[in-house]
Chains A and B, each alone.
Chain A
Amino acid sequence: MSSIPIEYYLILSTFMFIVGVIGVLIRRNAIVVFMCIELMLNSANLALVTFSSYLGNPAGQVFVFFVMTVAAAEAAVGLAIIIAIFRNKMTVNIDEINIFKW
């Protein structure tokens, strides 16, 4: 760990976050958009664990634990919402799901 500069981890984390943002912007499948959000959460987790480990402070790793809890809850509720929308509209393409648009 000590032989690897902290910047490498942070740049990897940034790269994964940007890839997640681009995925949210260019994909049309609602489930894949959800998976890109999970990718962004994981890149934030990587940055938290990196700082926690380099500073020797457990707070970052405890926060990662809570982020994982929230991600699990978010995935459960989000997928339930997607299933409910699929029952109504028979599609998960976010270009066709525009029931709030007027």
Chain B
Amino acid sequence: MNLQILLFVILSLIAAVSSVMMITRRNAVMSALFLILNFFALAGLYLLLNAQFIAVVQIIVYAGAIMVLFLFVIMLLRTDNEPSILNNNKSLKYFAIALGAFVFIQVAYLISYGRPSRKLTPNEELSVKVGTIQNIGKELYTNYFIPFEVAGFLLLAATIGAIILAKKKFE
């Protein structure tokens, strides 16, 4: 069996199962831990797609920074477990799940059997070259320079906003 297919099956199974586990755990900390597992599986999939830079950033930024922030807030607020996921508004929640499954089947059918307008012929060497940090950095600082600066400004605004929001009570 091809190693790539084996790795893809393992990583995608981890990603799918951990995402389902994440929304069904009653404890918020367990949800966060399963989400981190999901992010690690996604980073592996990015490596499989030759996107090295994105894989590393996924682990550093998502699994490292954002999820630590989430865990910190969960433990800070000491929220109690939900009594049961499907307890109140039962019919509405079953309806949500059924609707989600229906939309998933529709989209999966379209992706698998819809007539593609153009057959994609992947070019392995090109995609290895595209995913390197040199290439992404060159793109960021040339073609996408203004969006890059705007992203920096957005982060500054978010930092200031978070400090002001968390500083005192709503008036």
Could you list which residues of chain A lie within 8 angstroms of chain B, going by C-beta atoms? 1-4, 6-12, 14-16, 18-23, 25-29, 31-32, 34-36, 38-39, 42, 45-46, 49-50, 52-59, 61-62, 64-66, 68-77, 79-84, 86-88, 92, 95
A92 vs B28: C-alpha distance when bound (angstroms): 11
Question: Is A62's CB under 8 angstroms from B155's CB?
Answer: no
Question: Is A1's CB under 8 angstroms from B42's CB?
Answer: no
Known: A3-B4, A18-B104, A25-B93. A65 touches B140 (CB 8 A): yes
Interface members, chain B 68-111 (any A CB < 8 Å): 69-70, 73-74, 76-77, 79, 82, 85-86, 88, 93, 96-97, 100-101, 103-104, 107-108, 111
B 118-129 binary contact with A (CB < 8 Å = 1; else 0): 001011101101
Question: Is A19's CB under 8 angstroms from B19's CB?
Answer: yes
Could you list which residues of chain B lie within 8 angstroms of chain A, going by C-beta atoms? 2, 4-5, 8, 12, 15-16, 19-20, 22-23, 28, 31-32, 35, 38-39, 42, 45-46, 48-51, 53-54, 57-58, 61-62, 65-66, 69-70, 73-74, 76-77, 79, 82, 85-86, 88, 93, 96-97, 100-101, 103-104, 107-108, 111-112, 120, 122-124, 126-127, 129-131, 135-136, 139-140, 143-144, 147, 151, 154-155, 157-159, 161-163, 165-166, 169-170
